[in-house]
Structure 1
Amino acid sequence: MEKQVIQSVGFRNTKNDKGEITGFQFKVRLPYYRGIFLSQIRPGTLYVDGKKIDNDQITWTINGEEFTNEEMAVDFQTHWATTKPAVLKVKLAGGLEQGYHDLKYGFCFTSSYMPPIIQSGLNPDKESMVFMPEFGHHVNERHLLIV
C-alpha cells in the first residue's frame, strides 16, 4: 500500500452487468495502526475535480462486503484491518472521462479506547455529557489518472 490515504491503484470507472459505465471507484487505506469497527468511521466529503459528491452516492466495500454510510454507522461487528484498503464506489452516470482527475476526500474515526461520549464529573447534580472529538481526521488529495 502507498503512504497516502487515497491509493492510486484501483482508481477506475465501474460498469454494470450490461457493460454500461455507472460510476467510478478508488481505494483508501486506514491510517491507524489498530484497525477499527465500521461504526467508528465518520465518512467525510468527497470532491472530484472541485465538485462535491453527495454521500448517498458512495458505498464502501470492506472485506468484500458493500456498505452505505448508514449501514456502517450501526455495524459494530465488521472490522476494517489496517492492512486492507477499502474500496469506495461512487455512482456517477457515465463515470469519469479518461485523463487526470483531482480527488479530495477526508474521513475520521473514533478511537476504540476513547468513547465518543463520556459522563462529566464537573456537575454531579446535572446529567452533563462531554463529547470527545473524533480522532484521525485525514484529508487526502490526489491527482490520479483514469485510462
Structure 2
Amino acid sequence: MFAMRMKLAPQIIKRESFKPIYIHGKRQGLTFALQLAYYRGHYLSDIDSLEVLIDGKKIPDEAVTFELNGKEMPLYKLKYAVTEFWRQDDLAQLHLLLPNGLSGQHEIGLKLMLRIPYMQIGPGHTFMPLDSGETITITLEGEKNE
C-alpha cells in the first residue's frame, strides 16, 4: 500500500524519553514520547492504526495507552477523539504495561498510520494514508538493585 511519508523531526520516537513504569514498587512497563511526522497536525480520530512492537512482537492493544494534552486513553478510544488535536510540535506519550518491565537492548517499533481527511484519492474516494511510524534500537537500564 502506498502511504505518504514526511519526517519533519530527526526522531519520531524520542530516545531520551524512555522511562520505566513502576506498580507497587516493581517495574511493570515503560513510557516514551513520540512526535507526529506531519506538518499540519491531526485529530486523534484520524489515526487509522497504532501498534507498538518490541523485538518484532506486537504489544497487545489493551496493554497500550496514548496520552496527549494530559488526557490518557486506550487505543480503541482514539477513533472517538474527534476534538483532540495533535499538533506536529506536541509530544504524545505511549504507556506500555509489560510484566517484569524491560531492560537491555531492544528494537522498538511504532506503526502509526493516519488518514489525511482533506486529501481524497482514488475512484472510491479513499483518503491519503500517512505513515508516521519508526523503528529504533535502544538500550534500557536494568533495576539498580537487580
User: TM-score w.r.t. structure 1 length?
Assistant: 0.80
* Contact 1:38–1:73 (Cα < 8 Å) also in 2: yes
1:110 and 2:119 correspond: no
* Contact 1:37–1:76 (Cα < 8 Å) also in 2: yes
Calculate percent identity across the aligned residue pairs. 25
Picking from 127, 130, 138, the partner of 2:132 is 138
* Contact 2:116–2:127 (Cα < 8 Å) also in 1: no
Residue 13 of structure 1 is matched in structure 2 by 20
The CA distance in 1 between the partners of 2:44 and 2:120, in whole Å, is 15
State how 1:1-147 maps to structure 2 within 5 Å.
3-16=10-23, 18-97=24-103, 99-114=104-119, 130-147=124-141
* Contact 1:23–1:93 (Cα < 8 Å) also in 2: yes
| Greater C-alpha radius of gyration | 1
Name the Cα RMSD after superposition.
2.2
For residues 13-71 of structure 1, the C-alpha deviation after alignment (integer angstroms, 9 at most, x for no partner) is: 1113x322221112211001111111011233322122221122111011111011121
Q: What is the count of residue pairs matched by the alignment?
A: 134
The CA distance in 1 between the partners of 2:36 and 2:132, in whole Å, is 10
**SS state at 1:82 partner:** coil
Letter in 1 for 2:113: C
User: TM-score w.r.t. structure 2 length?
Assistant: 0.80
Structure 1 unaligned spans of 5+? 121-129
